[in-house]
Structure 1
Amino acid sequence: MHQSFAAAFAATLALSTPLAAQEVTLRFQHFVSPASANPTYFMQPWVDAVEAQSDGRIKVELYPFMQLGGSATSQYDLIRDGAIDGGWVIPSYEPGRFPEAEALELPFMTPKSGEEASDAAWHYTEAHLMDDFADIHLIAAHMHGPGIIHKKGAAPQTIEDMAGVKLRGPSRPATDLLTAMGALPVGMPVPSFTEALSRGVVDGGVITWEMAPSLKLDELTDSHTDVAGDDALYNLYFLWAMNKDVYDAMPDDLQAVIDANSGLMASRWAGKAHDIGDAEGRIVMEDAGNEIAVLSPEETDRIKALGEDVRATWIADMDAKGFDGAALVQDATDAMTAARGTATE
């Protein structure tokens, strides 16, 4: 486990009960490589913590690459319906289903620290989304580090360089921004990205540094471009959750083990995992000899202006659906502001 969370791990060891026979086996599923950052630095350490603190009475089996069936876009329902006991969910893979969550994903909303963005995401979730997720048991709500433009060919220098470039996009806010920049966004979950690049379906895409090695972006793309400043071009919102009935059926002391590894601490932990992976992933791209670029502050400001248009359109759309779009944006912004500067070493 990363050092910054060692204290939390030690503090909850007191919850362990005397050694007893295993009582609960949980099957958790995700859709990425087990070598990528979140499984390496959050999911597996989370499993280890839960198993240790329960003295082995909870066993968690972790399945990558959707090995238990279904698709990345169906993860929420697989958990809700009990097809799996728990797993990793990207709500934006189902556009329009959880509209309030999109406020966290608006352009330039988050800092470039996954840990800080995840702190804010958990507080925003508590304020606005717990009713939306009432049919599952929520363990953590987190975000990743900065989204980067990875593409074949030279890095873009201006917005005009993005014209007609086919880029994978992960969410409605991200694809709306890419459209505003003149790119041709192609919405797809992360498991489809490598094949789409290989087949020429897309010229590149937006995703994190940490996911780049497992997706072979060092081989399949030539350049990797970030925006200037401290704000991320875009971000994505994730859930780590389990089936509600399975959780409710657990003995109180085992529920307490899950609870001790849930909430703000777990959300920050998951976000920190992405920060660690981002540093590692960037090095892999550099070592491959690929171009590492940062847009100028002036060009970044031009993109931010387009992002403001995306934000205004989103607010109007939310107002039409009966929400207070501006209030949601303000609450998300305030949560992010409060979390800035809180990242651990």
Structure 2
Amino acid sequence: MMSFVRRVTIGAAVAACLSSGAAVAEDTFNFRVTSALSPNHGQWQGFFKPWMEKVEEESDGRISFTTFVSGELVKATNEPDALKQGIVQIAAPLLPTYDPALFPMSEVPMLPLAKSSPKIGSLALKALLESDVPLKDGKTFSELEYEANGLVAIPITISEEYSISTTGQRFETVEDVKSVTLRTPSRIHEMYAANVGINSITMPAFDLFDALSRGAVDGSFLFISDWTGYGFDELFKYTVTDVNLGHFASVMAVTEEQWNKLPEDLQKIMLGAADEQITEGAQLWVDRREKIMKETKAKGAEFVSVHDLPPEVSKLLMSGMEQTWFDYIAKLEEKGLPGTELARLWRDIVIEQGGDVPAAIHDL
């Protein structure tokens, strides 16, 4: 398969051959990197920080980075404009899930799954970004989502699977489920919440701590291993696990113009280091989940498998999964986008990587 990133690499290689080899070899690059993540966030610790260290080392200092974390230079969701305006050269990460108007199909990894893990999800996202399967007008996922916006998207570690957590409200009856208000991170979670009768408010994770503290929401769809990145381990007291409500997907992004300025050998170093770090970053999520669950249990937090809930509650929470796929497909197709084709591609990729989808989606 040939991804957009790979095609751009080949184009740059041709350009490099036409240039003075000696001059190109001596080029150095210092990239300004913006991140909405805190320095303690799992994705920063598990992917971006070690990735930058690898790139600096393997490039013998020809690439270096000046980092701005916690949104100190560019606020979350403003990364596309900051890249195009040259304020920064790398978004670490770009958050397409929070900008469905610009990236309408990038929410697809948020669809509920029957089986997944951070490793499965990360490798599935990589395969999606590198897929050569045409979805519309002969164009691939990356061409439609990123090349169309003048961007190169580099695969990174995806999140752990989403669970449902509250500040203490327990799901012992159907009425309990329908009485809470939960923060949703995406349109897909809004659809799922509507399908099971949960009240929802959509907001970025960066705003959630304040909303929980004020009682504006009772909890959130969120993955456990991300709690300490925002201080949620202090607030969440009850969590329903094993619901596999999708993965939060983001990418590392540079402009196509910036990417094409890089010599081929430096492009290869950046891509190779990212490939190496994806599974290592996924393992960090697994390790953090275990540690957080152990520490919060000791402080009274409760973790309950969806399969151990009263049958009517479990049935309600599981029933919304399949319908959410169909709702998402319809939402895309209303806008003239290839909803069915994208859902089938994501389904096939997830299964190829060792995951699984809700039963009805096998027959999509």
Q: Establish whether TM, by shorter chain, passes 0.5.
A: yes
2:60 aligns to what? 55
Are 2:167 and 2:219, in contact at CA under 8 Å, matched by a contact in 1?
yes
The CA deviation at 1:315 is 1.7
1:182 aligns to what? 197
- Secondary structure in structure 1 of the residue aligned to 2:66: strand
Deviates more, 1:149-158 or 1:161-170: 149-158
Are 2:47 and 2:157, in contact at CA under 8 Å, matched by a contact in 1?
no
- Secondary structure in structure 2 of the residue aligned to 1:99: coil
2:126 is equivalent to residue 122 of structure 1: yes
CA–CA distance in 2 between the matches of 1:29 and 1:48?
A: 16
1:105 aligns to what? 110
2:160 is equivalent to residue 145 of structure 1: yes
The CA deviation at 1:103 is 2.6
The CA deviation at 1:153 is 1.5
1:303 aligns to what? 317
Partner amino acid, structure 2, of 1:51: E
Structure 1 or 2: more helix by fraction: 2
CA–CA distance in 2 between the matches of 1:64 and 1:106?
A: 29
The CA deviation at 1:159 is 4.3
CA–CA distance in 2 between the matches of 1:288 and 1:216?
A: 14
Are 1:22 and 1:59, in contact at CA under 8 Å, matched by a contact in 2?
no
CA–CA distance in 1 between the matches of 2:153 and 2:250?
A: 11
CA–CA distance in 1 between the matches of 2:173 and 2:32?
A: 46
- Secondary structure in structure 2 of the residue aligned to 1:261: helix
Q: 1:287 aligns with which of 289, 293, 298?
A: 298
CA–CA distance in 1 between the matches of 2:124 and 2:196?
A: 27
2:340 aligns to what? 326
Report how many aligned residue pairs link the two structures. Answer: 317
1:316 aligns to what? 330
CA–CA distance in 2 between the matches of 1:270 and 1:219?
A: 24
Are 1:154 and 1:291, in contact at CA under 8 Å, matched by a contact in 2?
no
Change (3 A) 1:332 1:115: same
2:146 aligns to what? 133
Larger Rg: 2
Normalized against structure 1, the TM-score is what?
Answer: 0.83
Are 2:191 and 2:327, in contact at CA under 8 Å, matched by a contact in 1?
no
Are 1:27 and 1:84, in contact at CA under 8 Å, matched by a contact in 2?
yes
Change (3 A) 1:214 1:141: closer
CA–CA distance in 2 between the matches of 1:205 and 1:170?
A: 8
1:219 aligns to what? 234
2:256 is equivalent to residue 251 of structure 1: no
2:90 is equivalent to residue 86 of structure 1: yes
Partner amino acid, structure 2, of 1:339: Q
Query: C-alpha deviations, 1:8-61, integer Å up to 9, x for none?
Result: xxxxxxxxxxxx999211121222221121111111110110010011221122
Q: 2:37 aligns with which of 32, 35, 39?
A: 32
Are 1:93 and 1:189, in contact at CA under 8 Å, matched by a contact in 2?
yes
Are 2:31 and 2:89, in contact at CA under 8 Å, matched by a contact in 1?
yes
RMSD between aligned residues: 2.5
Change (3 A) 1:295 1:304: closer
The CA deviation at 1:80 is 3.5
> Any gaps of 5 or more consecutive residues in structure 1?
1-19
Deviates more, 1:22-31 or 1:177-186: 22-31
